[in-house]
């Protein structure tokens, strides 16, 4: 898909794409769930408009759904584990955004403005392929600014761990700190990936009303998005969900790791079921009833 069609698609979907410096941002009023590796930001009223510059030619399909976490499994981001974006051009040195991406589908699903299907009423994305000083550790920074408007009443009922631990991206996150920083009036929560030996971290900035205003990813996952086995039915409490241990599929790790370093093709289900499953993120469809209860 060409960049123009991509931007057209986003624009038509209420997404605002623009690039600022090294940041490629996608913002607007769109329901996006998966977000790993992306900046998510709600800008104002969410009226779609392009600030700039041609965004990278993301191979997005015309699907109305996409899963951001899958992007982390793709070379688009994983390439950042091996090489950083050009600090001067902001361009990916690897193929991903250079228009030669082989992925037939961009792994995200744009949820049109329909607000009836998901708890997330709207979410606006900003994607930043952060560039760190090459002199410093070569860890890519993926900044994500997200606003998850669950609706004031609904959001307040969602336990914090449901947001923080999984953070809608399919990965397991463990909160290890929270701090009020000066440069932002909102407190920051610090998360680590729970996958063994994974150094990926993220910083989630949450507004006073509970909305996630910014997510900053530090370091890439050295593992694919985990596959989870389903727990036996019968455990319906939220705590059971929190206590559910994610089981990583070793074979998946091997194969996907290989794909990440090479040319992995990304496939994802555009169906609503899939999207909801992604949203359920806690443990797939098993947790959807929990979400419904919530």
Partner DNA sequence: TATCTTTGACCAGTG
Partner DNA sequence: GCACTGGTCAAAGAT
Minimum distance of DNA from residue 6's CB (angstroms): 31
Which residue lies nearer to DNA by CB, 236 or 255?
236
List the x/- string, 200-229, binding to DNA by CB under 7 A.
-x-x------------x-x-----------
Please tell me the distance from the alpha carbon of residue 167 to that of residue 170, in angstroms, as a whole number.
7
For position 189 contacting DNA by CB under 7 A, the verdict is yes
Which residue lies nearer to DNA by CB, 2 or 184?
184
Strand pairing of 212-218 and 201-206?
antiparallel
Which residue lies nearer to DNA by CB, 238 or 253?
238
Q: Which of 2, 12, 152, 239 binds DNA (CB under 7 A)?
A: 239
Cα dihedral 65, 68, 72, 75, rounded to 10, equals 40
Kindly tell me the number of DSSP H helices and DSSP E strands found in the chain: 9, 9
Three-state SS at 26: strand
Strand partners, 128: 143
Q: Which of 45, 179, 196, 232 binds DNA (CB under 7 A)?
A: 179
Residue 139 near residue 219 (C-beta atoms within 8 A): yes
- From the list 6-14, 77-85, 173-181, 227-235, the region that binds DNA by CB under 7 A is 173-181
For position 151 contacting DNA by CB under 7 A, the verdict is no
Question: Quick count: other Cβ atoms within 10 Å of Cβ 78?
Answer: 26
Please tell me the distance from the alpha carbon of residue 149 to that of residue 136, in angstroms, as a whole number.
36
Minimum distance of DNA from residue 242's CB (angstroms): 5
For position 165 contacting DNA by CB under 7 A, the verdict is yes
- From the list 93-101, 120-128, 186-194, 268-276, the region that binds DNA by CB under 7 A is 186-194
Closest among 129, 55, 69 to 99, alpha carbons compared: 55
Site for DNA in 242-271 (CB under 7 A): 242-243
For position 183 contacting DNA by CB under 7 A, the verdict is yes
For position 87 contacting DNA by CB under 7 A, the verdict is no
Q: Return all residues near 25 (Cβ < 8 A) that are at least 6 apart.
A: 16, 17, 18, 19, 39, 41, 51, 125, 126, 127, 128
Give residues in contact with DNA (CB under 7 A). Answer: 160-161, 164-165, 172-179, 181-184, 188-190, 194, 201, 203, 216, 218, 238-239, 242-243
């Amino acid at each position: 898909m060409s960049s123009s069609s991509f931007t057209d698609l986003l624009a038509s979907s209420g997404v605002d794409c623009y690039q600022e410096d090294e940041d490629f941002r996608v913002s607007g009023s769109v329901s996006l769930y998966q977000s790993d590796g992306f900046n998510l930001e709600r800008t104002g009223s969410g009226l779609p408009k392009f600030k700039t510059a041609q965004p990278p030619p993301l191979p997005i399909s015309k699907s109305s759904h996409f899963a951001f976490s899958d992007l982390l499994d793709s070379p688009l981001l994983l390439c950042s584990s091996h090489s950083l974006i050009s600090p001067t051009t902001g361009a990916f040195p690897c193929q991903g955004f250079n228009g030669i991406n082989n992925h037939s589908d961009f792994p995200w699903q744009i949820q049109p403005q329909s607000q009836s299907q998901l708890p997330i009423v709207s979410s606006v994305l900003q994607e930043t392929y952060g560039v760190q000083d090459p002199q410093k550790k070569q860890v890519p920074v993926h900044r994500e600014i997200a606003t998850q408007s669950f609706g004031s009443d609904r959001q307040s009922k969602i336990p914090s761990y449901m947001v923080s631990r999984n953070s809608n991206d399919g990965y397991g996150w463990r909160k290890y700190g929270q701090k009020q920083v000066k440069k932002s009036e909102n407190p920051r929560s610090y998360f680590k990936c729970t996958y063994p030996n994974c150094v990926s971290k993220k910083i989630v900035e949450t507004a006073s009303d509970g909305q996630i205003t910014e997510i900053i990813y530090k370091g890439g996952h050295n593992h694919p998005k985990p596959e989870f086995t389903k727990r036996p039915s019968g455990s319906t409490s939220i705590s059971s969900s929190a206590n559910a241990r994610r089981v990583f599929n070793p074979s998946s790790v091997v194969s996907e790791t290989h794909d990440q370093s090479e040319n992995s093709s990304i496939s994802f289900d555009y169906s609503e079921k899939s999207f909801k499953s992604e949203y359920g993120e806690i443990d797939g469809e098993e947790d959807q009833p929990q979400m419904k209860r919530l």
